[in-house]
Amino acid sequence: MIVITFPDASKVQYKKKSITPLEIAEDIGAGLAKAAIAAKVDDLLVDLSFPIKKDAAIKIITFKDDEGKEIFRHSSAHLMAAAVDNLFKNVKFGIGPAVEEGFYYDFDIKKPFTPSDLAKIEGEMRRLVKEDVKFIRKDISKKEAEVLFKNQPYKSEMAKELDKISVYALGKFVDLCKGPHISSAGKIEAFKLMKIAGAYWKGNSSNKQLQRIYGISFPSSKELNKYLKLLEEAEKRDHRKIGKQMGLFSMHEEAPGMPFFHDKGTFIFDELIKYMICEMRKLGYEINKTPMILNKQLWLQSGHWDHYKESMYYTKIDEADYAVKPMNCPGNILIFKTKQHSYRELPIKAGEFGLVHRHELSGVLSGLFRVRAFTQDDAHVFCTEEQIKDQIIELLDLVERVYSTFGFEYEVELSTKPAKAMGDPKKWDMAETALEDALKAKKIKFKLNPGDGAFYGPKIDFHIKDAIGRKWQCGTIQLDFSMPEKFDLTYEGKDGKKHRPVMLHRTILGSIERFMGVLIEHYSGWFPLWINPLQARVIAVSDKFNKYALKVLDELKENGIRVDFDDRAESTGKKVRDAQLEKVPIVINVGEKEEKAKTIAVRTSDGKLKFGVKVSSLISKINDNVEKKELEFKL
């Protein structure tokens, strides 16, 4: 007798000595059995063929689950590798994981892959899918692995680093893998190979460069087509193109990965910071500014040296070693230490919009999304243990306020203690409980993300959802007992004795640069008026109405409206089209009719045109819209 417990706590007894997840799924229903990808048995992800021989808790994993997507796409990478193995000779295989946007596999092959090769590989993958080739798992010894991978140097290297070795066969192709995988290739109904790129083995530029093929896969063609349409829409919204078109920022070889903000981009950048400072001042924050370069000893003390040294930039000052800061925490800790604090002062909320630098590999740099120099909207809250829950709740409220201002919905993750954690395990337990209790107190749904916390403490991560459904991790709240210990931070308690404060790290926008990139794509360049560097443009239908146009321009400017005048020798139609290309939200036309009536014609970003508008009425509506930080402007 085997008792199986399901996620809803219901139980079923099976009069068998052994049963597989697939049999359990079939017992529940044919639909679930068809959708099943793998299973979680007592928190262990396993193949559907895994034999269950004792009482166990089980969850059938489908493509709807994050684990299901990962397993499905990892299996898709194996399918692609099997196709490559069938089509090309003397291929050396690297790794083939699932990634956020699909999957990839790295190959060492003499002749570079071409777009026509991708078409051939897709064809062979379809053949394997049609044949419904099975994934067959086998556990092997190190000696067997040595023989099996004698002509596969990368697989052989990986096998030597493993204690337990398992392989999966897909037809004649055998790959080193811990699994789990889908049961057969037939489940991978829809896929597309997207691009070819170069990638160093193990990400180390001193190693050989391999060829990486990226792909995407889904259980149905409908889902694949939906994804490809999303890519088309994302291409239209590409912040790099729109940023160039609107003159917001540029990137230059003289400073790779470090954005240059032009006047309009700087305006948006500054408005974001101004808005955040306003919200923070309401909550009693102080705003600090700390140096970019700090002594190496400080980074050793904080622990950043051990965890970030590969990503840090270094210099020497007076023969001593210094580093450019990758984070703002230590600088704000030094400010806290400049005086002895009383419990009456706590919580101390220290904000900083600090410029940090991290060395990212050139291959991953991507516009404003992945840069080497960026500004964090950091804050560090120093509080007592009794204040933790209230401070986290205050931060959760601030996050909600900020994201709703930009029109973002978001999802929440609670990430717990990682393998390489610092500090007292009991403090870790206390920290994790405090974060969870605050989320539950606010009735916020969250996903548990075990082992993904920061090295100094657990964290809550916020994933905002943009206009086309993509998710971006921006904000985070991290609870830290470790850093106050390392820096011997104290405050004087009610009892007159010294006590250790708790430190909360938080960002909401995250990297201002990255957040700007997300906003550009979310709004497709049509920024709300309050952060739009150019709110309106005046166009005269002919030169003889320029005088009236300039009068309108001056009145708008005098009332704080950011406006310009297009006096080029071009047709009105071209001027209007150019304004739309530049994402100018309000286009004001003036001609004979408007001059006589002392009115204007106003075209808004939704394409609607309204005649007979009073300038004073437009000014009032713009200022009201800006004050309320409304997302859309309507007359």
Task: List active site positions.
Answer: 329, 358, 376, 378, 380, 459, 505
If you ran DSSP here, which 8-state letter would residue 628 be given? H
| Contact status, residue 293 vs residue 316, Cβ threshold 8 Å | no
- With both helix axes pointing from N to C terminus, report the angle between 115-130 and 66-87 in degrees, rounded to the nearest 10: 110
DSSP letter assigned to residue 310: G
Give CA–CA dist 348/332, Å, rounded. Answer: 11
How is residue 383 annotated by DSSP?
Answer: E
At 609, phi and psi to the nearest 5?
A: -120, 125
Cα 615 versus chain centre, distance? 43
Q: Which candidate, 379, 313, 626, 335, places its Cα nearest to that of 489?
A: 335
* CB contact at 8 A, 417 and 451: yes
- C-alpha 611 chain-centroid distance: 44
Contact between residue 278 and residue 401 where contact means Cβ atoms under 8 Å apart? no
CA gap 438, 415 in Å, rounded: 14
Q: What is the 3-state secondary structure (H, E, C) of 409-464?
A: EEEEEEECCCCCCCCCHHHHHHHHHHHHHHHHHCCCCCEEECCCCECCECEEEEEE
β-pair type (502-507, 536-540): unpaired
